[in-house]
Amino acid sequence: METYQFSAEDICQIANLIKMYQSLDELYKRLYALEITNQKDSSNYQQKLKMLNEMVSNINIKYKEYQLIPPKSIGWYIFLVKKVEWEGKDKLVDTTDIESLMTLNYDYRYMRRLLTTLKNTIVYDYEVHNCLFNNENNGLEQSQMFYENAAIIKYFNSDLFTAYLYFLEEYINKEKNDKLKYELLAAKYNVSFTNENVENILIDNNFVGPNTLYLKAKLMADLAQVSNEEYNQYKNYYVQDRYDEHIKKILATSDNNYNDPTVITSMLLRQCFLRSMFLFMNEEELEIANYEFNRFLESEAYLEKHSHDTISPQLIREAFNLIKEDKSKVRILSFNN
């Protein structure tokens, strides 16, 4: 694919979008500040929420006006990823980085939103794949499978974050410790800012998470005439790496680390993601995952450093124990149901 040639107009358009995202970022911080001071029912909050909706609409209009489709969107994406790397903010391309989801004040949060939105505009095909993957660290998926069925993977991502939001709202409502509750609320506003599907759900519901778990990836697979076997391959591909990452991060956390409220919040968010991912796994897969988890707890590698730790394993056990209850809440949309 021919490299996209930048012009002065591109630079002006990028600068304009960055400015709009910076304004959106500030508006999110104001909404969060109002909620943690018990002003969510105020006219001020409702006014800001209306402004947020209008601002998001204006940004979407700009994307259409700027005709952000390949090869232009690809050129922009690669340019901005390099800019992020030059400025030492390369982790911002990872939209499941738990620690950065916990604070509204990290640098370049708006750049993460811009990169994620650009990524979603790209039409995935082999030519695009070859163009993007000259650089392994550009923040996009590298599986050929992803590029053949990008729409389905996109809906897996939407389903995962919808479920994450559902469980996060549950934790927020139950939490009695103000500091922990504020950090969980910050995580909710952050995941909304960095994930447009979540944002749409929250804007439509006064920034309250969903009370029903509707999962759409299976419906999209049915529409694309994807077989159940292929669907399960995509599902397993999407879930496995993320599941392993959260398990490892939780188990690497020792009991004495839980004296830090920020660590507690981080682990609760990881537990939210685990519970979300378990929704995608069938009974056999869950049994294998549970077996592997318990076998690892008995391994020399784990016992050497964590023989006296109990909190992290218990967080994972709780997620496993809640599977039956969690799955009873799920409504999987499908033509074959």
What local confidence, expressed as pLDDT, does residue 140 receive?
45
Domain, as residue range, for 311? 149-337
Are residues 310 and 206 part of one domain?
Answer: yes
pTM: 0.86
CB contact burial 54-84 (16+ within 10 A = b; e otherwise): ebbeebeeeeeebebebbbbbbbbbbbbeeb
Are residues 277 and 178 part of one domain?
Answer: yes
Alpha-carbon gap, residue 171 to 148, rounded angstroms: 37
Q: Based on the structure, what is the number of domains in the chain?
A: 2
Alpha-carbon gap, residue 173 to 60, rounded angstroms: 32
Are residues 125 and 82 part of one domain?
Answer: yes
Are residues 44 and 126 part of one domain?
Answer: yes
Tell whether the torsion through CA atoms of 88, 196, 247 and 220 is positive or negative. negative
Are residues 179 and 94 part of one domain?
Answer: no
More confident of the two residues 204 and 135: 204
Are residues 68 and 131 part of one domain?
Answer: yes
Are residues 156 and 132 part of one domain?
Answer: no
Task: Summarize pLDDT for 66-92 with one digit per residue, the tens.
Answer: 998 778 888 898 888 888 777 765 555
CB 118 within 8 A of CB 73: yes
Residue 152 has pLDDT above 80, yes or no: no
Q: How far is CA 193 from CA 26, 110, 172, 270, in A?
A: 11, 8, 18, 18
Residue 27 has pLDDT above 50, yes or no: yes
Picking from 85, 112, 140, the residue at the C-terminal end of a domain is 140
Alpha-carbon gap, residue 193 to 191, rounded angstroms: 5
Are residues 178 and 110 part of one domain?
Answer: no
Picking from 140, 168, 197, the residue at the C-terminal end of a domain is 140
Residue 307 has pLDDT above 90, yes or no: yes
Picking from 109, 140, 171, the residue at the C-terminal end of a domain is 140
Are residues 275 and 211 part of one domain?
Answer: yes
What local confidence, expressed as pLDDT, does residue 245 receive?
84
- Collapsing DSSP to helix, strand or coil, 287 comes out as helix
More confident of the two residues 131 and 191: 191
- Collapsing DSSP to helix, strand or coil, 332 comes out as strand
What local confidence, expressed as pLDDT, does residue 101 receive?
62
Are residues 22 and 159 part of one domain?
Answer: no
Place of tokens 């981080």: 266
- Cα 45 versus chain centre, distance: 25
Pair of tokens at residue 92? 């911002």
What does pLDDT average to over the chain?
A: 84
Task: Summarize pLDDT for 98-125 with one digit per residue, the tens.
Answer: 666 655 555 677 888 888 888 777 654 4
Q: Using 50, 70 and 90 to split pLDDT, how confident is the model at 143?
A: very low
Are residues 24 and 136 part of one domain?
Answer: yes
Are residues 335 and 197 part of one domain?
Answer: yes
Task: Summarize pLDDT for 229-274 with one digit per residue, the tens.
Answer: 888 877 877 787 678 888 999 999 999 999 998 899 999 999 999 9
Q: Using 50, 70 and 90 to split pLDDT, how confident is the model at 145?
A: very low
